[in-house]
Structure 1
């Protein structure tokens, strides 16, 4: 399997999954909860039930822009999620609260990812320049000078590591959200299944991102290991 086939397949899968995810959320945004609780109210209740009182819930612009900020301890919900009383809203709001709970409990992978953020920001700024210039120097020297290329690959390796650390963090946040939803009887059986399906599709975006990054890393490594397929 060549590099371009892997990258092309990854890109196509990403486009398809993102399209399905958006369609699912739009469809489930029409499934109103029997409890009539909004995303904001769901988040408030989940935080209270877990004894978290120092996290604020904010409304932000955009679609699927929801996130938890561990720096200022805020749960940022898109306007639709913040206000709507649907299966999609409860899934997203509870998921972000799952991240707040991870933070509160000192979840080891979340702590590790937070420590890596400054390094990732640095890597993201210079990785493309390092790899492109490294490849140029590598080929112009007949494969003798690979230091810059190796540096670029090292920076990209950090991005791959970050992606694979993020994956279990997202899955764990969803599991915490779904466990709380089920145990507190927040939703009925149909609503629970829709919320679970929404989070499963959201998790797929992280799976594709992680393995797509891994495929690129393998390709870059093939230059310096001498195993690069000429048909790439």
Structure 2
């Protein structure tokens, strides 16, 4: 559904930032789909092409959500900072984790040595912790986005548009919950493998 205001995702983001007294964050377009994110290092709201140029309620909701992260940054929201500090470690761990787990399973199967699998489980625990820390960060950003959508005066959202934005952000939040549940499931699976076979 098109926004009654006719604003693009870029324009929605710029207005939300200004309404919250944030003047040093740049709104940029980035390639790809579902590639929307806020970068606290260079203070940029990066919107995928469809969101940046889009004039739908969904595009406005995504743009407002990413600006929610910029507001978190301006207010020094502790969970955002903790997640940001973990990003380099999690990126490195995620790239190596699959191979460490495969090697660990092979070694524990052939030699009974659990050391490599233990390292893999530790790395998986770090990734799982990151997924859990992501939840309050994302939910809070959506809360800030909806607060602005429902109460701002520079952009008027109709009641139906506000509800559609709420629904869009709710479904987006579900993807983070599913990811966290999946990470927990994998962690428990490999913990079971480690302690179930490591002592043989």
Question: Would the TM-score normalized by the shorter structure come out above 0.5?
Answer: yes
Deviation of the 1:53 alpha carbon: 1.0
Say if 2:129 is the partner of 1:161.
yes
Aligned CA RMSD, in angstroms, stands at 1.5
Q: How far apart in 2 are the matches of 1:177 and 1:196? A: 9
Counterparts of residues 9-20 of structure 1 (less than 5 Å): none
Q: Which residue of 2 aligns with 1:190?
A: 160
Shift in Å at residue 72 of structure 1?
A: 1.2
Is the CA contact 2:16–2:148 (under 8 Å) kept in the aligned structure 1?
A: yes
SS at match of 1:106: coil
For residues 26-60 of structure 1, what are the alpha-carbon distances to aligned partners after superposition, in whole Å with 9 as ceiling and x for unaligned?
xxxxx122222221111111111111111101112
- Correspondence for 2:117: 149
Shift, 1:201, TM fit: 0.6
Q: How far apart, in 2, do the equivalents of 1:55 and 1:32 lie?
A: 26
Deviation at 1:79, TM superposition (A): 1.9
Which blocks of at least 5 consecutive residues in structure 1 are unaligned? 1-30
Q: Which residue is equivalent to 1:134? A: 104
1:54-83 per-residue CA deviation (whole Å, 9 max, x = no partner) reads 110111222222111111111111222212
Aligned twin of 2:84: 114
Q: 1:48 aligns with which of 18, 28, 33?
A: 18
> Separation in 1 of the partners of 2:47 and 2:109?
48
Equivalence map 1:1-232=2 (5 Å): 31-141=1-111, 143=112, 145-184=113-152, 186-226=156-196
Q: Give per-residue Cα distances to partners, 1:186-225, cap 9 Å, x unaligned.
A: 3010000111101111111111111011101101001122
Q: Per the alignment, in what secondary structure is the counterpart of residue 65 of structure 1?
A: coil
> Distance in 2 between the 1:189 and 1:227 partners?
57
1:125, CA displacement in angstroms?
2.4
CA distance, structure 2, for counterparts of residue 150 and residue 63 of structure 1: 36
Greater RCO (Cα-Cα under 8 Å, separation 6 or more): 1
CA distance in 2 between partners of 1:128 and 1:64 (Å): 24
C-alpha displacement at 1:227, in angstroms? 7.9
- Which SS does the other structure have where 2:55 is aligned? coil
